[in-house]
Amino acid sequence: MDIQNYINEINREYIKGNATEHTFRGTLKILLETLCSDVDATNKLKKTDSFNFE
């Protein structure tokens, strides 16, 4: 995914009128992983008892 494709995707969701922050997370994850091959983005980390997000 390139930047223009990312913008098109989030704009398409935004136009629907019911988007929230969570709506855009998956698309951002794909963009980051495409642009940075060594990145493994996580949409939402699981909290642990010690709040250690490993």
Q: Give how far Cα 11 sits from Cα of 14, 20, 37, Å.
A: 5, 12, 25
Q: How far apart are CA 22 and CA 37, in angstroms?
A: 23
In the structure encoding, which two tokens stand for residue 54, read together?
């490993």
Q: What is the mean pLDDT of each run of 10 residues along the chain (54 residues)?
A: 96 95 92 93 72 58
Q: What are the residue ranges spanned by the domains of the chain? A: 1-16+24-40
Tokens 């913008």 sit at which residue? 7
- Note if the pTM is more than 0.85: no
User: Which residue pairs from 4-10 have beta carbons closer than 8 angstroms and sit at least 24 positions apart in sequence?
Assistant: 6/30, 6/31
